[in-house]
Amino acid sequence: MSQLFLLSALSQHSTDDFAILENAVSEGSVGIAALIVAGIFILMFIAISFNLLHETAAALLGAVAIFLVTYIGGSFDPALSIITFEEAMEFVDWNVIFLIMGMMIFMAILSETNVFKWLAFRLYRSAKGNTWMIVVWLVILTGITSAFLNNVTAILLIAPLSIQLAVALGLSPFAVVIAEVLASNIV
């Protein structure tokens, strides 16, 4: 059982994942490369958990470490070959990457036009200053938006408005956005 087969078998969400892992360990196909990957993952997890590194920096550092082990260590010992760059690129969902990048550009341009301040003012006025009514409207707006767009896009669209309103009303922006995240998953 090769490491690539093990990875593809586990990514298919089999109900018997533990048995697949147990067979792989007993057959010896989980070797030094798997231990190195586990070690790098644990170091990344510790760095993120204790705020030693930003999440993005830790993930990039982990990816670089994996590639260094593959390309430098793998040239000396084939057992250290974890994943090539080409294999890694097959797992990247470019549609999601470009969607998020496009939404970030779109949101940056919209925020420069002060459209969020205008929307926040209109929402505040229509709710007559009632804080709970504003939060309910934001949650409903998020739910309706997520019916037509995917959840991440809906949150990217509504969150700037919600954060602006929450800060203006003295609410925790975190609490309002969490309510919206839950609403985006319901619809």
For the stretch 88-106, pLDDT in tens is 899 999 998 898 888 888 8
Residue 153 has pLDDT above 70, yes or no: yes
Per residue in 117-141, pLDDT (tens digit) is 787 788 888 888 788 898 898 899 8
Averaged pLDDT, 47-59: 93
Residue 5 has pLDDT above 80, yes or no: no
pLDDT given for residue 1 in this prediction = 42
Averaged pLDDT, 71-100: 88
CA 70 to mean position of chain CA atoms: 25
pLDDT given for residue 2 in this prediction = 47
Residue 85 has pLDDT above 80, yes or no: yes
The single-letter code of the amino acid at 122 is R
